[in-house]
Every structure is written in structure tokens, then in C-alpha cells.
Structure 1
Amino acid sequence: MALWGKRKREEDAARLAKDDDLARRARAALVAADERIRTTSDELEFAVAELGESAARPVREGLEAVRTHLGEAFHLHQLNHDEIPDTAEELRTRNARIIQLCEWADDVLDERTSALKERIELARQSPQILERIRSDVERLRARLPLTRETVERLSGRYSTAALNRVAANPAEAEQLLEFALHSADISARRREARRPEEANVALETATEAVRRAETIIDGVEDFEIESLRAQSTLADVIADSRGDIVAARALTQPGLPHASEVTAAVAALEKALAALPAPGTPTDPFADLAVLREANAALDAAVDKARQRAARPLPSLEAVRHAVDAADHQTAVARSVIDGHRGYIGADARTRLAEAQRVRAEIEPLVIPEDTREQALLLARRVQQLANEALQAAQRDIDQGRYGGGDGWGGGWDDRRRPAGGDNMFGGIVGGLLLGGLIGDIFE
């Protein structure tokens, strides 16, 4: 008993310490949440002054929601300290709820204020940003003469279609730089007039205009480099295409698989090569490269197709016709047996016969075209297999009905428990039909 009492006292002490720690955490969380609300309220006033009411509205709405829920937390804390006695479980539940509400409040304020931090920082640094915008405008304006010279130089080397990508870049960049300065001036005036929302919009617009202008100016230099790279690649593709044409001619001989397709692809690639501008003529290397690559890829595909067919010869029309005839013969045998002895035949044999007939209907359009002849051969073999399976299933059904005492599948029965018109020689007949079909296939 003494040992049990000691253990219980230790457990009570541990539970009491845990409850005390929970209560301490609840008080600390309540103080921290209340202080966070006060700090955020001060930040909200600054945000309204710097950014305007609409930008600060999400924070204001978050603060209102947090104040409402924190009121519940203060009420729960008050219940913990009123004159009405509480159980340990009641205190534990309230303190856990207080911590939950305070953590939720902190998360809400973190989410709402973080969205404003970048914009507030932008507003605080607006004088420096405006100065940087004006400096960037001057720097980029100094690059414009060289950009115009580059476009002029490129116009003698590349076609109008190619140069259309960058011909208007200098003028567009100049307009954007003018617009950036105008927006920067508007931002400064709106901030002096204490119209922060308009000032920030104008500041962001000016920043974006400078960024776009620099991208457009850089685009002219990038075009010159990429054009040289395209010309170098074009030379490699031309050499590769000529080598491919020489190699492909061996596959254009009449009678070879897909010779007509290879011949057409060779002609298309030769046409693309012939259409290339003469050296020294203004050209569009990007368009020339795209056309040549497409024709080269088409020839590669035709050559691969021809080589694959050569490695796996196309079945002859006679072989396909023979397989189709054999499939038809086997289907006819199966159909004759099933139609003549319906009283014995179950679902398996009927299903395989129906599937054989369905597959057979798909074959005929595939026999003549070379591209589908191999598929026709596979389908014909599938039909023959299904017909054979239908015959085997039919024979099992008939044997089971005749010798196994089955009730049949709806046919008439005579006094000897055989279908009306039945024959003990039927197994031999089916065997003869199967054997006849196989012999016919061998000697046709």
C-alpha cells in the first residue's frame, strides 16, 4: 500500500506540473498575441499612410478577425480566475483553447502583413528607386546609338523578314525610356501630394518600363549572336543533308520497300537545298534552318522506315490471301458444326465464333495496302485461332451432352438421351472436319 501511495503521489505531482506548464504557456501566448495586435495596428497606420487604404485593407480585415477571436481567449482566461471553482479538466481545456486561438491569430497576422512587406519597403525606398530609374534611363539611352548602328549593319546581311524581329527595337526602347521618366515624375508628384496609391502604381510602372527597354535593347545584340549561330548550324545541316541524300539513293531502287517514299523525301530535301539563297544574298537563317531541318527529318524518317521494312520483309499478297482463305475455311467449319448442333452448344463456343466473325470483318480493307498487309496477316491468323477454339469448345459441349448425361442447351432429345437427329459418329465427323482443314492448309 505504501508503494502504491507513493506512485500515486508521483503521478499527481507530474500531472500538476504539466497543468501548471500549460497554464503558463496560455498566459504567455495571450500576452504575445495582444502585443502583436498592438504592433500590427501601428504598422497598419503606416501602411495606410504609405500605400493607401485599399492596399492596407487585407491587414485591417485580418486585425478585426483576430481581435474577435482574441476576445474569446481573454474570456476563457477570466473564467480560469473567477470565484467559481473549476475542475482540473476544465482548466486544462480552456488553456489549450487559449493557446490555439493565439497561435491562429499569429498565423493570420503573419499572412496578412507579409504580403505588404515588399510594398512597404518599396514605398520607404521610393526616393532611391526614382533616382535609380533616372540613372538607368540615361545609361540605356547611351546604348541606343550603337543599337541603331547594329540594326543598320544587320539589314545588309539578313532579309527584311529576318530583321523584322528587331528592326523596331531601338524606337520601342526609346519610347519606353521616355515613358519611364514620365511615370517616375508622376510618382514623385503623387507622393508629395500624399496620394500614395497612385504614387506606387506610377513607380512600379516606371520600373517595369525600364526593364522592358533594357530587354529590347539586349534583344538586338542577342539577335546578332543567334543569327551567326544559326548560320553556322545551317552550314552543318546542309553538309549533313547532302550526305543523307547520297546514302538514301540506294533505297530508291524500284521494288525496294518504301522506295517511293524515300524518293519523295529525297526530292523534297533537294528542293529545300536548291531554295537556299546564294552566298552574299540577304537571308533569314532561322527560317532556312527550320525548312531544311524539317525536310532532313522527313528523309530520316523515310529511310528508317525503309530499313526496318527491309529487315522484316513485307508478307506477299498471296501469303495474306492464303491466310485469309484458311481463316474463312476454319470459320465455316465452326459455324457449320455450331449451327447443326445448337442443342449441345454452350456460350464459349458461340462467343469465339462471334469474335472470329467480328475480327474477320476488319481484315478486308487491310489486305491490299502494303502498310497494313502485315496487320491483315496477323488478324487472319487470329480468326483461324478463334475458329479452332470455337470447334474445340463445341466438341466438348457435344461430348458432355452425349456421354455426360447433360440436359443440352435447348435442342430436342430422343429416347436414348441424344439430341434429335444426333449421331454417335459426330466426334469423328468433327475430327474429320478439323483434320480436313489442316490438310487443306498444308497443300493449298
Structure 2
Amino acid sequence: MTSSRFRGRPRQAGPPTGARLAQAVLGGAIAVMWLCLLVPATDTGARGGPGPGAVAQEGDGTYTADLVLPLIAAVTAVALAAYGYVRRTRRTRTRTTPGGALPGPPPQPTLDRFDRQSRAALVEADDCVRTSREELAFAGTRCDAADAEPFGRALREAEAELSAAFRMRQRYDDGVPGEESARRQVLAGIVGRCAEAGRRLDTEAAGFDVLRGLELGIGAALEVAEARFRELAGRTGTTEAILGDLAERYPPGATASVVGSVEQAKDRLVFATVRLNQSRQQADLGNADLAAAHLRAAEGAITQAAVFVDGVDRLAQELTRAAGLVPGALTGAEAELAGVREWLRGERGAGGGPDVPLGEVRARLARADIVLAAVREELTAGPYDPLDALRRIAQAVTPLAAGRAGVIPAAALLVARSSTGAAADFVSTHRGAVGAAARTRLATAEALLADDDHLAADARAGEARHLAEQDVRAHGTPYAGSGAHAIGVGGAVLGGILLGGDPDGGPPASFGGPRTRARRRPNPP
């Protein structure tokens, strides 16, 4: 029976099996050593002193002693080998790593994941740049140009980084480069450019708040916003009448880009009315932060209402100018085609012909004749789309043109500006839903327009508008609702005025990058 002194005590673990084995072997080796040392001494004492065989006995003792050290070394080596074997066996039995290998580095993200990251970075950086540009315009009405210059410089630097990122993305979408490792580097470069654009704006956000001084006194900024609101509210009725007149004078395709613009402008203005009232109420109560947040939301809505109204007015001017340019474009196109025919009859002797095979020149000439005939027929048949007519004339004649008629480049420029401006308006006022592909095509169109590549700019702008409309249809209206709190919120979130995420639409977007653009919240958490 176990004594009560030891009952309940935890049993102490003994030494490992390998250690016990090594200790036993070493103990045996030491015992053998002592036996070998004692044997010569015992034999000598038994004989009672030296005798005739003394020399032989000394030789035997010396021989036995000489074996001690090698024997000790051999036994020690065996003991250490046994101990090492036991330790290796125990490690093999108790290891937890499969196969005994150390864990390697984590696998690299897939190319698809890199692609998603780069697209998200482009959208976020583009939103930050657009919002910062809009709020800087409001701030510029109440401060000196010198005071606003540091923030304008930061915005320009962010725009440069974003433009470079869009150029890289367009090349990536076009399949350049083709190697996977190189494409990974391109995507990493896009993310890095976007991060730098956001960082530049984030750095200036605190100073920009000091420049505006909304938390110290909102009265002057509120007056500026209310004045712009009243001006736009007065223009809305006129713009609606202009749009009705355009619908009577031109076919539906001519005004398709601005259908619904007046209604959306009114929606933004209703939202602005609510937020302006809330801003003034909070200012009267001394809640400067909430007043600034509501004012910022109202400013964003007023800016987008102006985009809708200006878009209708601009289209009306473009259609009028295009209608006056079509007859001259037809005449200029005929002059260009006549020059090509002379060049063909001279078998390239006349000079100034297209640098393509003769068969291709004749095919292009035949297509151009068909296009010009169709445009002439439309002019006499009834209402037509003059911008589309100019587009078809420019597309048909430009590949054959030799600069004989300056009206053709002018027509192409008007068409490219119109389509690029319409696409930019749509992306800007629907940025809460528009993805990276549409924004990339728009940035490419704007760059091509600046480089005087008008036909290519028009084509990219058309792609941008088409992709943006697809994104908006897929996005839907997640903030549709009723009640005073929901008035205009769906449109504000769709337009990126509010950043979403909360039942009330979330915080308003402000000057800054990803870290600072949501710093103003009407309902602090």
C-alpha cells in the first residue's frame, strides 16, 4: 500500500530511454576499465614478490594496461552511436510535420487575384481623384490661389500616377506583355501607382481641412453651395425644354446619351436640399462636424446636378454645330475621294495616295462611296443624327485622306469630343457602380483625344460608355426606399457622393485618399 506521504504527488518522469541506455553503456565501459587496471596488481601481489617470471609478468601487465584506452574509446563510441540512434528514432515517431520537411513559403496569389486587386485599386484611386478635384473647386471660391496651390499640386501628382496606372492597365487588357511573370509585375505596378496617388492625397487631407475651415465656421461655404443650388434649380426647367426640343428635331439615337439627365439632376437637387437644410440646422445647434458632413454631401450632389444639366446643353450645341458641318464634310469627302481616284488612274504617279496595296485602296474607296450615298439620302429623308453622320464620314474617308480637305479632321474632332465628354459624364455621375474596365477605356479615350487620334478616341469612348452602362445595370438600386431619410440616397450612393455601407448611405466622400476620404460622418458610430 502506498504511504500517505507520497499519495497524491505527481510522478516525476524519469530520464529518456536513450539517456538511460547511454548511461548503462558508459557504466559498463568504466567497470571494464577498472577491471583491466586491477588485474596486473592482483597477480603481482599473489606471487609474493619478484621471481624468475617477474619479467614476463611485467610484460603481461603492461600489455593489459595498453588495451585500456582503446577499449574505453571503442565503448564510448558505441554508446554515443546508440544514443544518437535512439534520439533519431524518437524524433521520427513524435514529429508533427508531414514528411519531416519544414513548412515552405506561402504560395503566391494567383494571377486572377492580382487582377482583382489591381482593378479595385484603380476604381478607388479614380474615385479619390474625382472627389478631390470637385471639392477643391468649392474651396477655390473662398481662398487665394496661392493658398490652394499645394493641394492643386498634390491633385496633379495624383492624376499623373493614376494616368500611368490606366495606361498600364490598357496595355494589360490588350494582352501586353504575354508572359505570366511579366503580367504579374504589371499588375503590381498598377497597384503601386494607385497607392501612391492615394498617399499623395491623404498627406494633404488635414491641411485641406484647415484651408476650408468648415469646422470653425460653415456660414460662408454654405452660402456658396446654396447660391449654386439656386442657379442650377433655375436652369433645370430651361434644360428640360431644350431636351424636349432636341427630341422633336432629331431621332432618338441622337439624344440617347442624355435621356433621363433632367430627372437625375432633379434627384440630386432634392438630395442637396435635404442636406443643406440639415447642415444649417446642425450649425445652429453648434454641431460643426455634422454640419460639415451634411454640407459636403450637398456639395457633391450639386456638382453632379451641374454635370447632368451641362451635358444636355453641351449636346444641344454639338448637334447644332454638327448639322452645320455635315454639308461641308460631304463636299470635303468628295474632294478626298476624287484625289484618290486620280492617284489610282496615275498608278501612284500623282503621289499622295494611301500606303496600302491597290486592291485595298479600291475596296476602301467603294465603301466610302456607299457611306456618303447613305448620308446624302438621310439628309433628304427627314430627321437624322448629325453627329453620327459625321462619324461615318470621318471613318470612311480618313483612311484615304491626304489632307486635301481640312473639314474631315474637324468633323472627327467634334465627334470624338462629344463621345468622350458623354462617357466622362456618365462615369462621373455613376462612379459608385462603374468598374475598372470602363474607367480604363475612358482614360485611354481622353489620352488619344489629347494626341489628336480622333477616330481611336471616339471608339474607346464608345466602349467606355457601353461598359459603364453594363456595370450600372448589374449594380441595381440597393438603397431604394421611402421616407425622408431615403430621399435621393440611392442616387447619391450610385454617384459616389455617399460612400455606402450604412443604412443612411454612409459618409460623404471628401478630399483625400483611401485613408481620409470618409473622415466626415453625419452619424458618428
TM over 0.5: no
> TM-score of the superposition, structure 2-length normalised?
0.33
| Higher-RCO chain (CA-CA 8 Å, sequence separation at least 6) | 2
